[in-house]
């Protein structure tokens, strides 16, 4: 797998801003809240709400309470009814806000879909001429061939089958710098809605009508095709089971209350407890407060927000399952070039031979590289300037110089300087080529050169020799050590992966010696050298056979089998259609290092869900101590020991608990959308943090919140 270095996306920060990604990650925008309110009300439709068993039970309870309040109207009853309905609306609001953020992003994507006309070629053959007809872009069929020239919009997703062009993909990626798309290789895929800036290309359409890349993006970010993930389904089943258990638990309170009331006739009746036991509205209130409404209300929003965070980073996840799988990844397969390393070999050291100083070698290396426009040649000039204080001279400054540009044939670059009778020739290039050039002037090459070259090669570097001929006398000056530079901060990121329990494997086509040197410097756990597509597939299957989840990146057709086999396959948008179809995520920025961020987002999704589940269950336990003692303390005086909040009355206790139960959902919406901050640590530490922060917080918050609400409620008469 090779990663091209001419795409502008390689040069941009990983978390670039796409058109729809400028929204704040988790802050609750009042405008968005207000816009989402109608959608939250629409979601009260039972046909929509039944998919959330917990909130469906709450809605049924609200309907039943409304009927009871109409039959026997009281201020207490109607206040309970209002807050029960608000509980359902607030739960829907969390999902509506999350979906609203996605719809805002989708709207910006829709702007890229214009009424484009396509120039379809009939009976096109490579290199030949074909009849051209103009058709509307939506009418294009899979397999059609179209021609697109400078200034025109590409009418649909496809592969370039002829030509090369500069393409503006800012409408999709948000990156203003153009990218190169050409026939053949791994940079042939183009996306509908992008604009050709130069030249002419012929594109074979690969999409079906209505299934373009933008169509799928819009559908996915809107949440229309979001399927519940396996963990989400399992948690829904758990919440539904807990709800059923609490239904029976609350139901048993009724005969207990009737029996206790009969044996304690002196206890006065009130709006919560009378001779018929617990009133119907109070029964519903008890059930709603004790079932896990908090996580039930936020569960869907957490999943949608996880997809949203990926979209903000210009990553399109084809399913929620892929996002969740990213959080459970055990093994990360990373390409070396462009991912772990910068991709271009750069000068790292000058090694002079005996009798030559480093300063002399640096000066000769810089001069002989001025006509070398390759990245390696540029790096030598810069390295000599930075490390040895040599001014970056230009060919124009040396009037009597004859410059020899780098050539793949000679494998050398250099300069011939003449100042009167003084002649000075310098050459820099492959060690064998420069050595042969020195020998051609009748001078033997010292054995020290071979030792230095072999040492650099063994360390995983690339040696370039420097030689000179001064007034007819030739000699070798030394060797330039080029190395594929590891990106800054990669070792720290791999250390984080290790703390997360993730094994990192570097994949490269380099020989084992070079691969080991880079792997040791980067700090990866393992490497696969001289990798072929079959080797990648075999490695993935081996890891999966051990019960591990594997993630990898790819951009070429040869990566498609491995991307399809991996549990999380991230295809580069600059790659082929085959790669994008095989992966379950597409990185619009074509930045291979983003795989690390994707794993972190997946982890954050799982941690957020776990943290809020912990808070919700702890929250429900605390509400027991708020409601049950206040409700039954008249019948069982011994419960007064548990009435630690000293709530004003049974009515105010129940109303305060119902109000708190509704308000805590709204309070947690920003956290559900933003996600719990993830820091790499072991599973045991994460569990301890969840219990200490969200577990303990879930127990303490209701005591404080319900007591404060009770102080306000008791100000009203009849409470």
The neighbouring-strand residues paired with 468 are: 426, 475
Residue found by looking up tokens 């990983």 in the block: 14
Query: Which two structure tokens, joined as six digits, stand for 617?
Result: 């269950």
Instruction: Give the contacts of 683 (CB within 8 A, at least 6 positions apart).
Output: 501
CA nearest to 538, candidates 515, 514, 561, 567: 561
555 is in an annotated binding site: yes
CB-based contact 623:344 (threshold 8 Å): no
CA nearest to 401, candidates 368, 379, 372, 428: 368
From 144, 335, 567, 620, the catalytic residue: 335
CA 633 to chain centre: 52
State yes or no: is 335 an active-site residue: yes
413 is in an annotated binding site: yes
162 is in an annotated binding site: no
95 is in an annotated binding site: no
- Cα-Cα-Cα-Cα torsion 199, 203, 208, 210, nearest 10 degrees, comes to 10
CA 39 to chain centre: 27
Backbone angles phi, psi at 240, to 5 degrees: -65, -40
Query: Which two structure tokens, joined as six digits, stand for 350?
Result: 């000058």
587 is in an annotated binding site: no
The H or E element containing residue 447 is helix 447-458
376 is in an annotated binding site: yes
Return the number of other C-beta atoms located less than 10 Å from residue 317's C-beta: 27
Residue found by looking up tokens 């996580």 in the block: 295
CB-based contact 694:611 (threshold 8 Å): yes
End-to-end CA distance of the chain: 71
Say whether 253 sits in a helix, a strand or coil. helix
Instruction: Give the contacts of 233 (CB within 8 A, at least 6 positions apart).
Output: none
Q: Are strands 550-554 and 331-335 parallel, antiparallel or unpaired?
A: parallel
CB-based contact 309:607 (threshold 8 Å): no
CA nearest to 590, candidates 109, 7, 1, 2: 7
The H or E element containing residue 224 is none
**What string of DSSP letters covers 660-678?**
HHHHHHHHHHHHHHH-PPP
408 is in an annotated binding site: yes
410 is in an annotated binding site: yes
Return the number of other C-beta atoms located less than 10 Å from residue 699's C-beta: 18
194 is in an annotated binding site: no
Return the number of other C-beta atoms located less than 10 Å from residue 558's C-beta: 18
CA nearest to 149, candidates 203, 208, 79: 203
How many whole angstroms separate alpha carbon 290 and alpha carbon 247? Answer: 9
Give catalytic residues, as residue numbers.
335
Annotated binding-site residues for Mg(2+) read 555, 559
Annotated binding-site residues for ATP read 372, 376, 406-413, 428
């Amino acid at each position: 797998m090779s990663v091209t270095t001419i795409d502008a996306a390689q040069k941009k920060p990983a978390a670039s801003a796409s058109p729809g990604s400028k929204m704040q990650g988790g802050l609750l925008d009042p405008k968005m809240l207000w816009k989402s309110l109608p959608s939250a009300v629409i979601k009260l439709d039972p046909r929509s709400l039944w998919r959330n068993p917990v909130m469906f039970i709450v809605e049924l309870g609200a309907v039943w309470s409304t009927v009871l309040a109409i039959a026997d109207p009281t201020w207490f009853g109607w206040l309970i009814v209002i807050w029960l309905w608000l509980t359902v609306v607030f739960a829907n609001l969390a999902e509506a806000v999350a979906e609203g953020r996605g719809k805002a992003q989708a709207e910006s994507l829709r702007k890229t879909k214009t009424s484009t006309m396509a120039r379809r070629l009939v009976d096109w053959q490579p290199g030949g001429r074909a009849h051209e007809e103009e058709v509307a872009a939506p009418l294009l069929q899979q397999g059609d061939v179209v021609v697109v020239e400078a200034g025109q919009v590409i009418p649909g997703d496809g592969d370039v089958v002829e030509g090369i062009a500069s393409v503006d993909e800012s409408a999709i990626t948000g990156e203003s710098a153009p990218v190169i798309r050409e026939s053949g290789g791994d940079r042939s895929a183009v996306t509908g809605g992008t604009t050709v800036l130069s030249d002419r290309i012929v594109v074979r359409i690969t999409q079906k009508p209505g299934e373009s890349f933008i169509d799928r993006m819009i559908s996915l970010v809107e949440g229309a095709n979001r399927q519940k993930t396996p963990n989400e389904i399992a948690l829904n089943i758990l919440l539904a089971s807990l709800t059923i258990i609490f239904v029976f638990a609350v139901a048993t309170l009724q005969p207990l209350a009737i029996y206790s009331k009969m044996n304690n006739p002196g206890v006065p009746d009130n709006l919560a407890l009378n001779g018929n036991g617990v009133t119907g509205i109070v029964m519903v209130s008890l059930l709603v407060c004790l079932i896990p409404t908090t996580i039930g209300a936020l569960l869907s929003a957490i999943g949608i927000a996880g997809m949203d965070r990926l979209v903000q980073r210009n990553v399109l996840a084809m399913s929620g399952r892929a996002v969740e799988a990213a959080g459970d990844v055990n093994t990360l397969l990373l390409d070396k070039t462009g991912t772990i390393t910068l991709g271009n070999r750069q000068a790292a050291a000058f090694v002079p031979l005996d009798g030559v100083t480093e300063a002399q070698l640096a000066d000769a290396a810089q001069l002989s590289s001025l006509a070398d426009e390759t990245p390696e040649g540029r790096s030598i000039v810069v390295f000599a300037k930075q490390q040895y204080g040599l001014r970056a001279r230009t060919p124009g400054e040396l009037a009597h110089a004859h410059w020899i540009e780098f050539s793949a044939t000679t494998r050398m670059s250099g300069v011939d300087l003449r100042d009167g009778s003084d002649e000075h020739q310098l050459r820099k290039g492959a060690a064998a080529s420069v050595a042969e050039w020195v020998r051609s002037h009748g001078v033997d090459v010292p054995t020290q050169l071979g030792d230095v070259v072999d040492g650099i090669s063994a360390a995983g570097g690339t040696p370039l020799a420097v030689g000179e001929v001064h007034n007819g006398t030739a000699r070798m000056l030394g060797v330039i050590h080029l190395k594929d530079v590891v990106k800054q901060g990669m070792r720290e990121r791999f250390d984080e992966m290790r703390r997360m329990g993730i094994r990192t494997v570097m994949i490269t086509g380099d020989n084992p010696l070079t691969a080991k040197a880079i792997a040791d410097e980067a700090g990866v756990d393992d490497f696969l050298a001289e990798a072929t597509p079959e080797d990648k597939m075999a490695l993935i299957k081996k890891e999966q056979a051990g019960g591990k989840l594997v993630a990898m990146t790819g951009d070429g057709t040869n990566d498609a089998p491995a991307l399809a086999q991996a549990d999380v396959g991230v295809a580069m948008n600059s790659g082929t259609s085959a790669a994008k179809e095989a992966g379950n995520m597409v990185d619009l920025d074509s930045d291979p290092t983003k795989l690390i961020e994707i794993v972190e987002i997946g982890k954050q999704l799982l941690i957020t869900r776990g943290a809020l589940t912990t808070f919700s269950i702890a929250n429900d336990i605390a509400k027991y101590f708020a409601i049950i003692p206040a409700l039954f303390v008249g019948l069982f005086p011994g419960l007064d020991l548990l009435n630690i909040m000293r709530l004003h009355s049974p009515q105010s206790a129940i109303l305060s608990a119902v109000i708190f139960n509704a308000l805590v959902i709204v309070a947690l919406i920003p956290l559900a959308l933003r996600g719990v901050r993830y820091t790499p640590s072991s599973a045991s530490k994460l569990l301890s943090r969840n219990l200490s922060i969200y577990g303990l917080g879930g127990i303490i918050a209701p005591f404080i919140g319900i007591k404060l609400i009770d102080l306000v409620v008791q100000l009203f008469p009849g409470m």
